[in-house]
Amino acid sequence: MSPEASPGPRRRQTHRGLRLHQRRSFWAAVSLAVVGGSVVAINTASADTVDTNAWYVLVNHNTGEVLDDLGYATNDGASVVQWSRTGGINQQWKFIDAGDGNYRLENRNSGKVLDDYGWSKTEGSQLVQWRDLNGANQQFHLEKSPDGYVRLINQFSGKAVEVPLGSKADGGHIAQYHDWNGTNQQWQLVPADSVSGTGNPGNSGSSATPTTPATPSGTRPTSAPPTPAGGGSSAKRFMGSSTVLIGGSMSDASAAAAPFDVRYAYVHSQPAPSSDYYSAARCHDGWSGWWGCWNGSTTAPGTYVTWRDSVAAQATYKGSPRPQKMLWTWYSLRDLGDLAGEGDGPGEVKAINRVDLLTRYLNDYRFFLQKIGTSHDMIDLEPDFWGYVRSLGDPRQVAAQVTAADPTDCGSQQNSAAGLAQCLISMAHKYAPNTAVGMHLSCFDWQQNTSQCVKDYAALGAQNADFLATDVSDRDAGWYAQPAHGGLDKFWTDQKAAAQLAFYKTMAESVGKPVVLWQIPVGNMAQNDTLNHYKDDKVDWFFGHMAQVAAAHIAGLLFGPGQQEQTSVETDGGNLISKTIAYHNSGGVALK
Q: Could you tell me what percent of the chain has a pLDDT over 70? A: 85
Task: For residue 9, name the pLDDT band (cuts at 50, 70, 90).
Answer: very low
Q: Does pTM top 0.85 for this prediction? A: no
Residue 586, number of CB atoms within 10 A of its CB: 11
Residue 223 DSSP symbol: S
| 287-308 pLDDT per residue, tens | 999 999 999 999 999 999 999 9
Environment class of 265 (CB within 10 Å of its CB; exposed 0-12, middle 13-18, buried 19+): middle
| 565-578 pLDDT per residue, tens | 999 999 999 999 99
Q: Above 60 in pLDDT, residue 453?
A: yes
C-alpha–C-alpha distance, residues 272 and 294, integer Å: 12
| 136-195 pLDDT per residue, tens | 999 999 999 988 899 999 999 999 999 987 677 788 889 998 998 889 999 999 998 754
* 418 sits in which H/E element: helix 417-431
Task: Tell me the β-bridge partners of 191.
Answer: 56
The pairs formed by 111-119 with CB atoms below 8 angstroms and a separation of 24 or more are 111/74, 112/69, 112/74, 112/76, 112/78, 113/138, 114/80, 114/138, 114/140, 114/161, 116/154, 116/156, 116/157, 116/159, 116/176, 117/77, 117/458, 117/463, 118/458, 118/459, 118/461, 118/463, 119/156, 119/157
Residue 254, number of CB atoms within 10 A of its CB: 21
The answer to whether the bond into 228 is cis (omega within 30° of 0) is yes
Say what the alpha-carbon torsion angle 568, 570, 575, 579 is, to the nearest 10 degrees. 90
Which residue would you say has higher pLDDT here, 411 or 200? Answer: 411
| 364-397 pLDDT per residue, tens | 999 999 999 999 999 999 999 999 999 999 999 9
Query: Where in the chain is CATH 2.80.10.50?
Result: 29-191
Burial letters 123-147, b for 16+ CB under 10 A, else e: bbbbbbbbeeeebebbbbbbbebee
**Count, residues in the chain:** 592
Which CATH number does 29-191 carry?
A: 2.80.10.50
- Number of H-type helices and E-type strands within the chain: 16, 24
Residue 539, classed as helix, strand or coil, is: helix
